[in-house]
Amino acid sequence: MASRPVRPARAARTVALAALLLAAAMACGGEQRDRTAEVAPPNPAWDRVGTLSVRTAQGPRACTASVVQSPRRNLLVTAAHCVQSRRIGLLDGLVFTPGYRNGYSPYGSWQVESVTVDPRWVADDDPEYDVAFVTVRALNGRQVEDAVGGNPLGTGQGFGLAVSVTGYPNERDEPITCSGLTSSQSPTQERFDCGGYTDGTSGSPWLTTNGRVIGVIGGYQEGGETEGTSYSVAFDDRVAELYQLAVE
């Protein structure tokens, strides 16, 4: 499900959205693996999610990313394999297009400026560190968080949480979304079961009912070998430390 950049593989108001996510997660019960993501309806919260593509919004897709709150208001989170790998190095020329739908870029495209990944990812593409924080340049004098807002980072939240996972498959021009409960794949990796997360959805944020991002598709199997099961590095002290490095 996940992708390396050169061969993209899986590479409403807040209160209303929280109620929707919680209801969907509670309703799914033991049927999580039978669910399939649907097109995400227009919603300000989902405008913080966008495509990572090469040079323009219509350029080759790499992955999905989303805006996280930061002091400089210019920070994204995605999977590390979306932006850098040991075999390829750093992928140049990426732009982030939040809220992209059907060829329309309501907020423009924001040029990637810098990438922060863990040294253990750089050394060995270690799936335990498949997370990246990415800064983007200002556009028309505005930072991206000023344009669309940002999700707070959530670390140390544990497993069994109600989340929505929203991202952009390469074959679609609209984002898809699905709600359910996270589970433990291992003490350091979390799992989400829902179909539809194909090429391009790596880096898709896992948002809790209170709007915190607690994961991104990536990690184990670079996010998953089938479209019905997705993985993420558990957002714990490793991710908290990487975030601090990114905002210094």
CATH 2.40.10.10 given to domain 14-44+151-236? yes
Residue 35: both structure tokens together = 């669910």
Cα-to-chain-centroid distance, residue 27: 24
Instruction: Enumerate residues 6+ apart whose C-beta is below 8 A from 92.
Output: none
- Partners of 53 in beta bridges: 61, 95
Give the residue ranges of DSSP H helices in the chain. Answer: 14-28, 119-124, 144-148, 237-247
pLDDT in the model for residue 85: 84
pLDDT in the model for residue 88: 79
pLDDT in the model for residue 33: 56
Q: Write the pLDDT tens digit of every residue in 117-134.
A: 999 999 999 999 999 999
For residue 59, what pLDDT band results from cuts at 50, 70 and 90? very high
More confident residue, 16 or 215: 215
Q: Write the pLDDT tens digit of every residue in 160-212.
A: 999 999 999 999 999 999 999 999 999 999 999 999 999 999 999 999 999 99
Q: Write the pLDDT tens digit of every residue in 20-48.
A: 444 444 444 444 557 899 999 998 889 99
Q: At residue 6, does pLDDT exceed 70?
A: no
Cα–Cα distance for residue pair 120/156, rounded to 1 Å: 21
Instruction: Enumerate residues 6+ apart whose C-beta is below 8 A from 52.
Output: 61, 62, 63, 64, 65, 78, 82, 83, 94, 95, 96, 112, 203
Q: What is the mean pLDDT of residues 39-65?
A: 94
Q: What percent of the chain has pLDDT over 90?
A: 80
What mean pLDDT is reported for the chain? Answer: 88
For residue 12, what pLDDT band results from cuts at 50, 70 and 90? very low
Whether pTM > 0.85 for this model: the answer is yes
Give the residue ranges of DSSP H helices in 128-236. Answer: 144-148
CATH 3.10.20.310 given to domain 47-150+242-247? no
Residue the block writes with tokens 């975030």:
243
Domain boundaries, the chain: 14-44+151-236, 47-150+242-247
Q: Write the pLDDT tens digit of every residue in 80-117.
A: 999 998 877 888 999 999 999 999 999 999 999 999 99
Q: Rounded to a whole number, what is the largest CA-CA distance in the chain?
A: 48
**142 DSSP 8-state letter:** B
Instruction: Enumerate residues 6+ apart whose C-beta is below 8 A from 18.
Output: 209, 210, 211
Asked if domains 14-44+151-236 and 47-150+242-247 share a fold, the reply is yes
